[in-house]
Amino acid sequence: MSDPLGPSHSGTGSTSVGGTAVGGEHADDSRDSGPTIGSLLGDISANLSTLMRQEVALAKAEVRQEATKAGGAAGMLGGAGFAGYMFILFLSIAAWQALDALMPSGWAAFIVAVVWGIIAAVLGLMGRKKMQQINPTPEQTVETLQKVPGAIKPSPNNASEATR
């Protein structure tokens, strides 16, 4: 014969008509022992979303910092180029005039050009050295992203608790 209270109440424990045990405990309390799989997955999704937003913000900050360095270096190179041009222009004219009194005009112009070529090379090498100091990789973001897979993987203790 079938139990009038349903299949979940066919055990040996005594229950009242309302479905609670005589001691006042609910018969199905064993299912309410922890968070549900749905809430755990929701938490994981929210945490991953927050983590990704934070990583993007960190990468933006690092790239912005490096771009500021690059802008400064480019400004120095541009300023050095313009100053070098103006300096070469006016000083070359003066040096050429001074050397023209000592030697033929062609040789005077050549000597002045060689001197300013050396100066331009030195300024260019200094600017190149500054550009090489710029790091385009967001180091902190790369480092934390390498740690993320280990943080997501469950430890052996957590895996056994999740299967209970």
pLDDT tens for 49-104 read 898 899 898 888 888 888 888 898 999 999 998 988 887 788 788 988 999 999 99
**What integer pLDDT is reported at residue 163 of this predicted model?**
52
**What integer pLDDT is reported at residue 16 of this predicted model?**
47
What would the pLDDT profile of 19-59 be if each residue is shown by its tens digit? 444 554 555 555 567 888 988 888 898 888 898 899 898 88
Task: Specify if 30 maps to a domain.
Answer: no
**What integer pLDDT is reported at residue 87 of this predicted model?**
79
Flag whether the pTM goes above 0.85: no
Into how many domains does the chain fold? 1
Domain that holds residue 44: 36-153
Task: Specify if 23 maps to a domain.
Answer: no
Task: Specify if 49 maps to a domain.
Answer: yes
**What integer pLDDT is reported at residue 115 of this predicted model?**
86
Question: DSSP 3-state assignment of 134?
Answer: coil
| Residue 161 reports pLDDT greater than 80 | no
Model confidence at 122, pLDDT cuts 50, 70, 90, reads very high
Task: Specify if 1 maps to a domain.
Answer: no
Distance CA 20, CA 123 (A): 89
Distance CA 5, CA 9 (A): 6
> pLDDT over 90 for what percent of the chain?
20
Exposure of 106 in the CB half-sphere (CA atoms within 13 A): 0
Task: Specify if 4 maps to a domain.
Answer: no
- Residue 4 DSSP one-character state: T
The one-letter amino acid code at 83 reads A
Distance CA 1, CA 18 (A): 21
